[in-house]
Structure 1
Amino acid sequence: MATAGSDVIQRIKTYALPLAALLLSGCVQYDWYKDGASFEQKERQVLACEAASLKALPPNFQTSSQSTQTTGSTNCEAGVKNSCGKKNKVYTQTDYQSSDVNEDARWVLVKDYMYQQGWRQIEISH
């Protein structure tokens, strides 16, 4: 059973490498801008938009699985009667992954809410 800690670790593993590559590559990034607005106003507006998007599209985690099967032979197991020479034994491994199917749509809502409040995205370079 997955715990909140393992979910965080999995997300870090999933996003850390691509994020590091993006930051190191010098690619263009975007930030929100509104004439006369402070950094604090921007942060409050982003949080309000994120909260509204969570209300509109709450997390919907769905689990998918992928199974792989391999066929092999076993060696004799010490002390196990009739364990020698079992051929064509099928071994199955199943990997599970959980993802929030509403995550991308929530980001679209956040952007829409920000635009409705007079904010626009501008390119920034690091």
Structure 2
Amino acid sequence: MRIALPLLITSFVFLSACTSYDRVWVKADATREQRKHQQTACEAEALRLLPPSNVRASASTTSQSCTAGEHGCKNKTTQTDTEYQYTDKNRLDRETLIKDCMYRNGWSRTKVERPMIKW
């Protein structure tokens, strides 16, 4: 029995770590199709009010190398790598509009457990 208790606790910890939670929209007596329809309508409204506004951000890394000469660097080589990334500056505001639209239409959000491991 002494060995079974630690094994049971360890098993529970590992299994509980394999669970995550999703948030879903729910409304009394509403079907999945009604939820999809309402969510799509809210997303379309939010896109009309706040269309994507992509902003380009860049990050540059520069490295230098040189060949030692009598008076410092003789042959200097510079290499610059630039990475570009695009972000939608309206994304978070648009998500807020979608949530507001859903709440105004009688929907609420609830947590649903979703197992990470498929048996």
- In the superposition, the TM-score normalised over structure 2's length comes to 0.72
Give the deviation of 1:88 after TM superposition.
2.8
Structure 1: runs of 5+ lacking an equivalent: 1-23, 75-84
Aligned partner of 2:99 among 100, 104, 111: 111
| AA in 2 matched with 1:99 | T
Does residue 42 (structure 1) correspond to residue 65 (structure 2)? The answer is: no
Report the equivalent of 1:30: 23
Aligned partner of 2:90 among 102, 113, 116: 102
Structure 2: runs of 5+ lacking an equivalent: 1-16, 68-72, 115-119
Larger radius of gyration: 2
Give the deviation of 1:39 after TM superposition.
0.6
Report the equivalent of 1:53: 46
The ranges of structure 1 where at least 4 consecutive aligned residues each deviate by more than 4 angstroms after the TM superposition are none
* RMSD, aligned α-carbons: 1.8
| AA in 1 matched with 2:100 | D
Give the deviation of 1:86 after TM superposition.
5.3
**How much identity, in percent, do the aligned residues show?**
35
Aligned partner of 2:77 among 89, 112, 117: 89
Count of residues in Structure 1 that have an aligned counterpart in Structure 2: 93
Aligned partner of 1:122 among 103, 110, 117: 110
For residues 74 and 37 of structure 2, what CA distance do their matches in structure 1 show?
A: 65
SS, match of residue 87 in structure 1? strand
- In the superposition, the TM-score normalised over structure 1's length comes to 0.68
Does residue 62 (structure 1) correspond to residue 55 (structure 2)? The answer is: yes
SS, match of residue 118 in structure 1? coil
For residues 50 and 37 of structure 1, what CA distance do their matches in structure 2 show?
A: 19
Give the deviation of 1:104 after TM superposition.
1.3
SS, match of residue 30 in structure 2? coil
